[in-house]
Amino acid sequence: MSRWGKRTLKLSRIKELLGCEELSSSHSGDTEIESVMPSDMMSDVLAFAQPEALLITGLVNSQSVRTADFADAILIVYVRGKKPSEQTIELAKELNISVMATGMGMFEACGILYEGGLKGIC
């Protein structure tokens, strides 16, 4: 808990809980996240965008990184064992976004984050 009444998870804890591989470490492991935007549809993410959130998606193209940036997200977690190209990871680094990848599916990963106290946005 960082702020009163609000539950958060540190990036390092998210990595642990989801068994993630870290692909871009733009933010320190102590950075806290409060909300999650789970979607494979970019306009759905942008419809509810809230700053400093986590984008969780199975979509690994460069537009997933740009969408995260336009939504002012801090972290992208790619599910289902998918990984973006080197070029796309470079773009995330340029845009100051942390990136992780997990073998878990969307449902399981979101379930764990929900258990961990995070709230969903879209």
Partner 1 sequence: MNEEALYKKKFPVTGGDFDKAGEVSTQIKAILKTTGIDNDIIRKVAIASFEAEMNVVIHAEEGKIEFILTTSSVIINVADKGPGIKDIDLAMQEGYSTASDDMREMGFGAGMGLPNIKKSADDFEIKSKVGKGTWVRITIHHEQK
CB of 87 to partner 1, least distance (A): 9
Residue type, 21: E
Residues 6+ apart with CB under 8 A from 11: 27, 28, 29, 30, 31, 32, 33, 74, 75, 98
Contact 45, 67 (CB under 8 A): yes
Regarding 17 and contact with partner 1 (CB under 8 A), the answer is no
Regarding 5 and contact with partner 1 (CB under 8 A), the answer is no
Nearest CB to partner 1, comparing residues 22 and 72: 72
Regarding 92 and contact with partner 1 (CB under 8 A), the answer is no
| Sheet with strand 54-57: strands edge to edge | 21-24, 98-101, 75-78, 54-57, 35-38, 119-120
* Contact pick of 42, 55, 74, 97 for partner 1 (by CB under 8 A): 42
Regarding 72 and contact with partner 1 (CB under 8 A), the answer is yes
Nearest CB to partner 1, comparing residues 3 and 43: 43
* Contact pick of 49, 68, 89, 110 for partner 1 (by CB under 8 A): 49
- First-to-last alpha carbon distance for the chain, in angstroms, is 22
The DSSP string of 61-77 is: SHHHHHHHHHTT-SEEE
* Contact pick of 36, 59, 74, 101 for partner 1 (by CB under 8 A): 59
Interacting residues with partner 1 (CB under 8 A): 40-44, 46-47, 49, 51, 57, 59, 61-64, 66-67, 69-72, 95
